[in-house]
Structure 1
Amino acid sequence: MMISLATLMIISSCKAQNTGSNDINKNMERTTERFDTSTYYMERQGHEYQFEHYLRGKVRQFGGNNGSNYIEYAKKEKDLFGTYKEYYNRTATLKLVGKYYYNDFDCGIWKEYDENGYLIDEYDQDAPYKNYPWEKVEKFVKEELKLDLFDKNVSIRRYVSDKTNIPVWIIHYKVGSNIVSIKINANTGEIIKKGTNPIIK
């Protein structure tokens, strides 16, 4: 009886240890990426440093003054999406990384790391818009509105309404001397508002 009891205790103890180690392994993702402070301070003009990178495209870096974090935006000329990175000021280690749409919204999976490089948070910026994702907005803009997404007179934003908690897409584009605005409910894909306003000069 005592032997059976002791065996059961050992087995349950092993299971508890295994479960704990699995939880730790989930959070063991680590980055060693660091901001190149020496090049930044040597090459920057004024308060920022811009350069072309063969893989990342046009890179813009700024920050680091008065204890502020270092910020980097990188996007290829013919890409709609770029990469945002933020680095801790004290250690120059990567703090935050994610994708952004070149006009005005964050997208995809964003990751946050502590100053030792360990992953502390991960969130999906696209989650509220899964019923009417970017691909459907892109198709609507290109095929129905016949607009060029690279046109500076076309902008797309998105947000979750504070009042209704409904995720919405907003498309703005210029027609003559007017701005057309279309608001789409991202839960249903329905156009909930469309209006035209004159451009105020």
Structure 2
Amino acid sequence: MIPEIDNKFEKFDSVKYNSRSNLDSRVLRENKLDGCYLEMDKDNTYGWYGMTLKDSYYRITKIYYPNGNIKKKGLSANTGNFQKGVWYEFDEQGNLIKETDYDKPFTFTFEDILKFCEKHRIKINKGPILQSTGWHNDIFRDIQNGKPIWRIEHLKKTNLVEVIKIDGVTGKVLETSSYGYINN
């Protein structure tokens, strides 16, 4: 399930944010009845909104200016936290000023990476992934030396994490390495 993100102006939902049950915490955290997980945060320099959808690999991410107007929005992967698809950026008055397609350099797509993981029995979780719930396999992507690169980190054994580096164009495995892991 890939959520739809549009290029329309919006404002930070101060009413929702101010209704948080724990006013001592700056962060609103809410498990929704439909299985989604909402986080909102705000201070004098920015506002932040993150909605992780049930049964999805994605989180809707929105960042706001101090005046409450949208600064940028798009999808993030809920594992590895990379930007997915088209992101929209706005000036402080709310005018759309930029669209960036973060998928464009990656012809070996996120969906291809998921198939790779399935083939190699690497579990990638859907839905809200909370840090306090133990190890979760992660997928990262980056542009290194002008080339798109995927990186998968998965718990191969209870004490060993394997890192697989994959070409973001061809899907070819470029390198594997590992490091020790101690479960606290």
TM over 0.5: yes
* Secondary structure of 1:127's aligned partner: coil
Query: Residue 148 in 1 paired to residue 131 in 2?
Result: no
Give the structure 2 partner of residue 192 of structure 1: 174
C-alpha distance 115-185 of structure 1, shift in aligned 2 (>3 A): same
Judge conservation of contact 1:96–1:112 (CA < 8 Å) in 2. Answer: yes
Gapped regions of structure 2 (runs ≥ 5): 1-5, 127-134
Match of 2:141 among 142, 158, 162: 158
Q: Deviations over 1:59-85 (max 9, x none)?
A: 10002x2x2111001012321101000
Give the structure 2 partner of residue 80 of structure 1: 57
* Secondary structure of 1:180's aligned partner: strand
Q: In structure 2, what residue type is equivalent to 1:197?
A: Y
Query: Residue 98 in 1 paired to residue 102 in 2?
Result: no
Give the structure 1 partner of residue 47 of structure 2: 70
Identity %: 22
Query: Residue 48 in 1 paired to residue 24 in 2?
Result: no
Match of 1:171 among 138, 149, 152: 152
Q: In structure 2, what residue type is equivalent to 1:149?
A: I
- 2-side partners of 1:79 and 1:165: how far apart? 30
Judge conservation of contact 2:79–2:125 (CA < 8 Å) in 1. Answer: no
Please state how far the C-alpha of 1:196 moved relative to its aligned partner. Answer: 2.6
Q: Deviations over 1:1-45 (max 9, x none)?
A: xxxxxxxxxxxxxxxxxxxxxxxxxxxx97342112133234252
Please state how far the C-alpha of 1:200 moved relative to its aligned partner. Answer: 5.0
- 2-side partners of 1:39 and 1:79: how far apart? 23
TM-score, normalised to structure 2, is 0.81
C-alpha distance 32-196 of structure 1, shift in aligned 2 (>3 A): closer
Gapped regions of structure 1 (runs ≥ 5): 1-28
Give the structure 2 partner of residue 181 of structure 1: 163
Judge conservation of contact 1:112–1:121 (CA < 8 Å) in 2. Answer: yes
Match of 2:91 among 91, 108, 114: 114
Give the structure 2 partner of residue 134 of structure 1: 110
Judge conservation of contact 1:156–1:172 (CA < 8 Å) in 2. Answer: yes
C-alpha distance 40-181 of structure 1, shift in aligned 2 (>3 A): same
Give the helix-richer structure, 1 or 2.
Answer: 1
TM-score, normalised to structure 1, is 0.74
Which structure has more RCO (C-alpha within 8 Å, separation ≥ 6)? 2
